[in-house]
Amino acid sequence: MAYLQICKKLHRYGILFKSLPEYQGTFSRHKCAGCAYELGYFHAINGKPKATNDSVLAEIPHSQAGHVRHKDAFTAYKEGYEFALSIAKAS
């Protein structure tokens, strides 16, 4: 079950996530912001529309440690999406 997955990736965006707001909601609070960032990035480079709410995070793993814990994963998703767009514009 995807809901019980725990993220074991070593996200190289750890520094970035320090600046994300703490998320105090009930749904995506324990989602991995690193995976959310990558999901946003891949949505952008694959031409998918940017998600409008955090239901897009339903399939990504939870996180238990590091900078990404308790960060706002949906904000991370949007930042990843925007980052991919900024790269596309620059190239």
Task: Tell me the CA end-to-end span of the chain in Å, nearest whole number.
Answer: 39
Residue 9 contacts Zn ion per CB under 5 A: yes
When binding is defined by CB under 5 A, the residue of 35, 39, 44, 84 that contacts Zn ion is: 35
Q: Give the Cα-Cα-Cα angle 83, 86, 87 (nearest 5 degrees).
A: 90
Site string for Zn ion, 42-71 (x = CB under 5 A): ------------------------------
Question: What is d(CA 5, CA 47) in angstroms, rounded to the nearest whole number?
Answer: 27
Residues near Zn ion (CB under 5 A): 7, 9, 32, 34-35
